[in-house]
Structure 1
Amino acid sequence: MESKAKDHYWIKSGILNVLQNFSGVFFGFAGFYILVRVLSKQDFGVWTLFMSVTTILEAIRGGLIQNALVKYLSSSRPEEHSAIITASTFISGIITITSVVLLLAFAPYLSTVWSSPQLISLLYVYVLVFLFSGALTQFNAVEQANLKFNGIFITNFIRQASFFSFILITYLIGFQIKLVHLVWVQTFSAFLSVIVAYRFVRNNFKISRSVVGRDWLGKLFGYGKYAFGTSVSSLLSGTVDQMMLGGMLSPAASGAFNIAVRITNLIDIPGNAIAVVVFPQSSRRMEEEGGGAIKYLYEKSVGTTLALVLPGVLFLYFFSDYVIHFIAGEKYTDSIPLLHVTLLYCLLIPYGRQFGTILDSIGKTRTTFLVVLGTTIVNLGLNYIFILRIGVMGAAYATLVSNIVGFAVAQIILRREIGVSLWNTIIYLFRFYPEFFEKYIKPVLKRKLGQPD
Structure 2
Amino acid sequence: MEVKSKDNYWLKSGILNILQNFSGVFFGFAGFYILVRVLNKQDFGIWTLFMSVTTIVEAIRSGLIQNALVKYLSAAGKSEHGSIISSSFFISGMVTIFSIIVVAISAPYLSRIWASPQLIGLFYVYILVYVFSGIITQFNSIEQANFKFNGIFIAGFIRQASFFSFVLISYVLKFKLELIYLVWVQAVSALLSASIAYIFVRRNLIFSKNISTEWIGKLFGYGKYAFGTSVSSMLSGTVDQMMLGALLSPAASGAFNIAVRITNLIDIPGNAIAVVVFPQSSRRMEEEGKGAIKYLYEKSVGTTLALVLPGVLFLYFFSDFVIHFIAGEKYVDSIPLLQVTLLYCLLIPYGRQFGTILDSIGKTKTTFLVVVGTTVLNLGLNFVLISRIGVMGAAYATLISNIAGFCVAQIILKREIDVSLRNTIVYMFKFYPEFFQKYIKPMFGKLSGQINHSQK
Normalised-by-shorter TM-score class:
over 0.9
Match of 2:261 in 1: 262
Counterpart for residue 71 of structure 1: 71
- Give the Cα–Cα distance (whole angstroms) in 1 for the partners of residues 230 and 169 of structure 2: 35
Q: Which residue of 2 aligns with 1:250?
A: 249
Q: Distance in 2 between matches of 1:270 and 1:444?
A: 22
The corresponding residue for 1:142 is 142
Per-residue Cα deviation, 1:171-216 (whole angstroms, up to 9, x for no partner):
0000000000000000000001111111111111111112x11110
Tell me what 1:103 maps to.
103
> How do 1:179-190 residues align onto structure 2 when only pairs under 5 Å count?
179-190=179-190
The DSSP-based 3-state class of the residue aligned with 2:332 is: helix
The amino acid that maps onto 1:61 is R
The reply on whether 1:121 has 2:121 as its aligned counterpart is yes
Residue 93 of structure 1 aligns with which residue?
A: 93
Query: How far did 1:449 drift?
Result: 2.5
Matched residue pairs, number? 451
User: Partner of 1:39 in structure 2?
Assistant: 39
Query: How big is the shift at 1:267?
Result: 1.1
Equivalent residue number for residue 312 of structure 1: 311
- Deviation string for 1:38-80 (max 9, x for gaps)? 0000000000000000000000000000000000000011100
2:440 is aligned with 1:444: no
Task: State the distance in 1 between where 2:212 and 2:241 align.
Answer: 41
Counterpart amino acid of residue 333 in structure 1: V
Q: Deviations over 1:278-304 (max 9, x none)?
A: 000000000000000000000000000
C-alpha distance in 2 between matches for 1:290 and 1:102: 42
| Residues 1:337 and 2:336 are matched in the alignment | yes
Gapped regions of structure 2 (runs ≥ 5): none
User: What's the counterpart of residue 373 of structure 1?
Assistant: 372
Q: Normalized against structure 2, the TM-score is what?
A: 0.98
Structure 2 residue identity aligned to 1:186: Q
Aligned pair 1:196/2:196, yes or no? Answer: yes
Structure-2 separation of matches of 1:343 and 1:195: 37
Map residues 266-305 of structure 1 onto 2, 5 A cutoff.
266-305=265-304
Distance 1:286 1:450 in 2: 43
Partner of 2:168: 168
Alignment of 1:397-416 (within 5 A): 397-416=396-415
> Take 1:371 and 1:167, find their aligned partners in 2: how far apart are those partners?
39
Residues 50-65 of structure 1: matches in 2 within 5 Å?
50-65=50-65
How far apart are the structure 2 equivalents of 1:117 and 1:447?
Answer: 62
1:112 equivalent in structure 2? 112
Name the residue aligned to 1:347: 346
Q: Verify: 1:422 aligned to 2:406, yes or no.
A: no
For 2:135 and 2:265, the matched residues in 1 are separated by 28
C-alpha separation in 2, matches of 1:432 and 1:137: 33
Partner of 1:449, secondary structure, is: helix
Q: Displacement of 1:448 after TM fit?
A: 2.5
Structure 2: distance between partners of 1:101 and 1:223: 24
Aligned to 1:363: 362
2:25 matches 1:25: yes
Q: Which runs of 4+ in 1 moved over 4 A?
A: none
**1:135 and 1:449 mapped to 2: Cα distance?**
49
Cα separation, 2, equivalents of 1:147 and 1:82:
17
State, as a whole percentage, how many aligned pairs show the same letter: 77
| 3-state SS, counterpart of residue 209 of structure 1 | coil
Deviation at 1:322, TM superposition (A): 0.3
One-letter amino acid of the counterpart of residue 199, structure 1 = I
Find the aligned partners of 1:209 and 1:447 in 2 and give their Cα distance: 55
Secondary structure of the equivalent of 2:375? helix
Per-residue deviation, 1:111: 0.3
Structure 1 stretches of 5 or more lacking a match?
Answer: none
Deviations 1:367-398 (A, max 9, x none): 00000000000000000000011100000000
Shift of 1:450: 2.6
One-letter amino acid of the structure 2 residue matched with residue 88 of structure 1: S
AA paired with 2:250? Answer: P
Q: Which residue in 2 is equivalent to 1:157?
A: 157
Paired residue type of 2:313: L
Q: Aligned letter for 2:261? A: R
What is the CA-CA distance between 1:447 and the residue it aligns to?
Answer: 2.2
Tell me, in whole angstroms, the C-alpha distance in 1 between the residues paired with 2:271 and 2:227.
Answer: 18
1:130 pairs with 2:130? yes
